[in-house]
Amino acid sequence: MLEVLSQEHHLPVQRACRVVRLSRAAYYRPPVSRARADAAVIAALTTVIAHHGRWGFWTCFHRRRLQGHQWNHKRGHRVYGALRLNLPRRTKRRVPQRLRQPRTAPAVLNHTWALDFMSDTLYAGRRCRILTILDEGNREGLAVAADLSIPSARVVRILEELIALHGRPAAFRVDNGPELTAEPFVEWCASQGMAIHDIQPGKPAQNAYIERFNRRYRTEVLDAYLFESISEVRHLSEAWLTSYNHERPHESLGQVPPLTFLPRHQTAGQSPFGLST
């Protein structure tokens, strides 16, 4: 700026310095890079943040003051912002601590129902969510509910219809997804006296029965077709679920379908697919 002022107005350096109130010694002093000048502040801040990733600026500043650093808060905050420490810092997602649940599946209906969510994409690009429900007693697929969104309250409504049709299970086996850890689902299960067996985070093998069911469903339906709408997903899923329960041999059941291995007597006049949408 001073050089521009001197050249444009043809002023000597001495007068130009006097206009902008800058000493001639400062004018002739070679510039020092900000990184070199603030090296001590940068090192101090990065050391604190490395050990205390959630501390804010003032906590870091006062900590360094206690350790004898005398730079003021204006300089410290300038360096803090230049290092982008004032932006939200990504941290590891806190996962709940779960006890390992025994994976027992006696050949009894309504002992434990397993729930899980899947995702797929329609031909137009919209994502859809799919809730699968399995009875571990005979590996019967109870429902495959598809929609653009299935919140926790919708999960409760689907389960209420299944309970009215098949009876009440003793427990649900679920993962740690948001729909299955939300208050509507947890409080409803507690009010109905049904236990929730949460698998440990990152351990899908603890919910192996429905994981295998989902793999078959994805291979034979989701990966086999292109869907124009949610109604197409529901229609093909309904046909596939009927075939899976009544016709498809199951290896762990002695090569017989689930409803041949352990039949379920449904309420007369009701369909297992009459779920609310």
pLDDT at 277: 43
pTM of the entire structure?
Answer: 0.62
Least confident of 32-41, 163-172, 174-183: 32-41
pLDDT at 18: 83
Name the CA radius of gyration of the chain, rounded: 32
Beta bridge partners of 132: 116, 144
Residue 5 — pLDDT band, cuts 50, 70, 90?
low
Per-residue CA distances from 91 to 52, 54, 88, 96 (Å) = 12, 9, 9, 15
The mean of the pLDDT values for the chain is 84
Taking residues 65-94, report their average pLDDT: 81
Residue of 94 and 189 predicted with greater confidence? 189
pLDDT at 99: 62
For 156-167, give one letter per residue: b (16+ CB within 10 A) or e.
Answer: bebbebbeebbe
Structure tokens at 197: 């067996």
pLDDT at 261: 87
Residue of 144 and 90 predicted with greater confidence? 144
Residue 276 — pLDDT band, cuts 50, 70, 90?
very low
Share of the chain above pLDDT 70, in %: 87
Q: What does the pLDDT look like over 21-50, one tens digit per residue? A: 888 787 777 777 777 888 888 888 888 888
Domain residue spans of the chain: 1-31, 43-88, 112-261
Residue 55 — pLDDT band, cuts 50, 70, 90?
confident
Beta bridge partners of 141: 134
* Class of domain 112-261 (CATH, top level): alpha beta
Helix (H) or strand (E) holding 147: strand 140-147
Taking residues 179-198, report their average pLDDT: 91
Taking residues 251-272, report their average pLDDT: 72
Least confident of 57-71, 101-115, 125-139: 101-115
Structure tokens at 263: 């039949």
Specify the amino acid at residue 257. Answer: P
Q: What does the pLDDT look like over 115-165, one tens digit per residue? A: 999 999 999 899 999 999 999 889 999 999 999 999 999 999 999 999 999
